[in-house]
Amino acid sequence: MRADKQKITSLLKTAKGQIEGILKMVEDDRYCIDISNQLLATESILRKTNKEIIHAHMKNCVREAFQSGNEDEKIEELMAIMDKIAR
């Protein structure tokens, strides 16, 4: 992985903390909308993390594949991940 590991780790630890907080909210029978808002915030962090990783992949791995003439596999990988994101 060529993304900024410190940034990715920080984002994932934040998401982990939010998930732990959401679990506590559920255990404490907190208000549904409050729980939903926290879930949306966590999803946002995970989307941001994934975007960082994909950007780094495109800047490094995909660029290298094009330079070496092996771009077809990387294009297929990107198309597959875009299909998953679009679901």
Break the chain into its structural domains and give their ranges: 5-86
State the pLDDT at residue 74: 94
Among candidates 10, 34, 14, 9, which has minimal Cα distance to 24? 34
- Does the pTM of the predicted model rise above 0.75? yes
* CATH architecture observed for domain 5-86: Up-down Bundle (1.20)
Give per-residue pLDDT as tens, 44-60. 999 999 999 999 999 99
State the pLDDT at residue 39: 98
Please tell me the distance from the alpha carbon of residue 54 to that of residue 60, in angstroms, as a whole number: 10
Residue matched to tokens 């780790």:
9
Residue matched to tokens 């092996």:
70
Show the low-confidence residues of the chain (pLDDT under 70). Answer: none
